[in-house]
Copies of this chain bind each other. A is one copy, B any other.
């Protein structure tokens, strides 16, 4: 059996695989929240899986390959197909186990502004493997999250991408700003939903820095709840990302959304309001698919 892992900034997810079958899962801390060395953290997280079965190798993607990760892996340059990406992976031995870390991707040519990703590329190559129709022609893939990525794929090659800070800005504003109160804003709250819709609608009339303060002034002057305010911030940020991406990358009629289903559902609502059709794909499943593709590519 092998262990596949997606090791991001906020968490480590490990999957024990018997061929295509997922046998067990285990979790650990993200690269941004380590309390021991990366190697010790990985050992501790793998332990329950190693007790279930002998393992021949470990394949990881994400921040595991950053300079604060297990081993730094150089970025592969865009445009990149799956074969080029797989060549840039780094393999070494840890405690007698073969460990491979996937490369991230860098994109330096668009408007002379550099951009980078670590982890999303694995989900994308997973999506291309699972959905053959994405391997022909032009497609826009959107991966919402801490750093939301808009990715242009042509004939199975990742051409270029752009990062929006949406998820990180949202978390900062929800948890650390004067706009909301800690604990406010359950996404299932009907007032959150009302605020989200109001934020999406505000996108067309307000710039971000100017429109954000309404989350607070509406609480003071319109008797809105903190939950409404958090929903408003979410709607405003997602709406702006979609509008700005259309301006910056060109209008698109259809996108594929890859990520956490709760988050991709919010993006689907925002995209729909902007007249863009979308379909949702589950991020964890595509990470597993991408890591399996990497494993296969390295053996060919």
> Contact between B240 and A165 (Cβ–Cβ < 8 Å)?
no
- Complexed CA–CA distance, A211 and B115 (Å): 10
Q: How far is the CB of A246 from chain B (nearest CB, A)?
A: 11
Q: How far is the CB of A166 from chain B (nearest CB, A)?
A: 6
Partner of A116, one of B114, B177, B220, B244: B220
Question: A146 to chain B: which residues have CB within 8 Å?
Answer: 178
> Contact between A214 and B114 (Cβ–Cβ < 8 Å)?
yes
Partner of A113, one of B114, B163, B217: B217
What 0/1 readout, one digit per residue, does chain A (99-137) give for beta carbons within 8 Å of chain B?
000000010100101111000000000000000000000
Q: Provided the pairs A209-B208, A247-B207 are in contact, do residues A115 and B163 lie with their beta carbons within 8 angstroms?
A: no
How many monomers of this protein are in the complex?
Answer: 2
Question: A211 to chain B: which residues have CB within 8 Å?
Answer: 113
> Contact between B114 and A222 (Cβ–Cβ < 8 Å)?
yes
- Complexed CA–CA distance, A169 and B236 (Å): 15
> Contact between B222 and A111 (Cβ–Cβ < 8 Å)?
no
For window 24-73 of A, CB contacts with B under 8 Å fall at 32
Q: Is A278 an interface residue (CB 8 A)?
A: no
Q: Is A210 an interface residue (CB 8 A)?
A: yes
For window 215-243 of A, CB contacts with B under 8 Å fall at 216-218, 220-222, 237, 240-241
Q: Provided the pairs A116-B221, A208-B209, A248-B210 are in contact, do residues A177 and B166 lie with their beta carbons within 8 angstroms?
A: no
> Contact between A205 and B111 (Cβ–Cβ < 8 Å)?
yes
Known pairs A114-B221, A163-B217; list 19 more (Cβ under 8 Å): A106-B221, A113-B206, A113-B211, A114-B214, A114-B218, A114-B222, A116-B220, A165-B209, A165-B213, A169-B209, A176-B176, A206-B248, A207-B208, A207-B240, A207-B247, A207-B248, A208-B209, A209-B244, A210-B245
Q: Can you list 6 A-B pairs, Cβ within 8 angstroms, ordered by A?
A: A108-B221, A113-B217, A114-B221, A116-B221, A165-B212, A209-B241
